[in-house]
Amino acid sequence: MPDTVRRSFGARLQLAMDTRGQLCVGIDPHPALLAAWGLNDDAAALERFSLTVLEAVGEQAAAVKPQVALFERHGSAGLAALERVLAACSEAGVLSIADAKRGDIGSTMAAYADAWLRDGSALAADALTVSPYLGFESLRPALDLAQASGRGVFVLGLTSNPEGASVQHVGGDHSVAARIVDAAAAENSRELGRAAAAGSGSLPLGSTGLVIGATVGTALTELGIHLAAAHTPILAPGLGAQGATGADLRTTFGAAYPNVLATSSRDILKAGPSRDALRDAAGQTLAGLAG
């Protein structure tokens, strides 16, 4: 990783969003997409697919998000391909978010953190998605290592899958989702406080983000969740093929919309394998996010 990794992830993400816009392109090499591109369903094709996407959209997207499960299904060869894709992101200066949704306790969580967030790890990404449903503090090894290495985490907060409400909405005015949001905001408050005390000035965004589905609709309001003052990056999957538009995101997130990193995958990826077509699809998506 280059020296810029020593800057906080929140600061680097803010700069990327200010410079390129609020788009994260998912790198999701589904078998059907590989076939549509005329590629085999193997590790070599995954790498070709991913590097084509990176080359096409790397100058437009604030970040890219490889879906780790689609590499894992090819075993060690798939993970080796992912290692090369993450290295290529670093070389190109494009932020990478490993969508692995890791979550466990104790030494196991520490091992996940070591794999994805440690300097020198072949799988090190700029940020990692994590699951807090063994308790937010179970994520402590990842939270601490991310801070130490200038990386970030995105914590599952409020998802749009139908089953999510059965867990995340429990508690009414003090829902599980609201408590996760509050815990992430507290992490960012401590980070910003340390930066201010060190004379680094205040950071626009902290490095502990939240995953909140782009299609959650009115759930944030119904659960009394307020995001605007939290300095929390928001990774919002669901743009495009899953139904959400830029206008929907502005309505859903309101005053917190400037902190939203909207993710589109299939809606852009289906334009491949032409790099020009991928660029055009990303550009159209960015235009929709800008309003």
Decide if 177 is inside a domain: yes
Decide if 290 is inside a domain: no
Contact 193, 174 (CB under 8 A): no
pTM, entire model: 0.95
**Residue spans of alpha helices (H) in 21-67:** 31-36, 43-57
Cα–Cα distance measured from residue 232 to residue 189, given in angstroms and rounded to the nearest whole number: 9
Decide if 179 is inside a domain: yes
CA dihedral 54→257→159→279, nearest 10 degrees, is: -20
Mean pLDDT of the chain: 94
> 133-160 in b/e burial notation, b at 16+ Cβ within 10 A?
eeebebbebbbebbbebbbbbbbbbbbb
DSSP 30: -
Decide if 138 is inside a domain: yes
Residue 262 forms beta bridges with which residues?
23, 236
Active site residue 65: no
pLDDT tens digits for range 87-145: 999 999 999 999 999 999 999 999 999 999 999 999 999 999 999 999 999 999 999 99
For position 48, which CATH number holds?
3.20.20.70
- Domain with 173, as residue range(s), is 3-284
Cα–Cα distance measured from residue 256 to residue 117, given in angstroms and rounded to the nearest whole number: 27
Chain centroid to Cα 169, Å, comes to 22
Residue 5 has pLDDT above 70, yes or no: no
Q: How many domains does the chain have?
A: 1
Q: How many CB atoms lie within 10 A of CB 128?
A: 28
Percent of the chain whose pLDDT exceeds 90: 88
2 — pLDDT class (breaks 50, 70, 90): very low
Annotated active-site residue in 7, 101, 140, 169? 101
pLDDT tens digits for range 217-234: 999 999 999 898 778 999
Among candidate residues 268, 252, 22, the one with its CA nearest the CA of residue 160 = 252
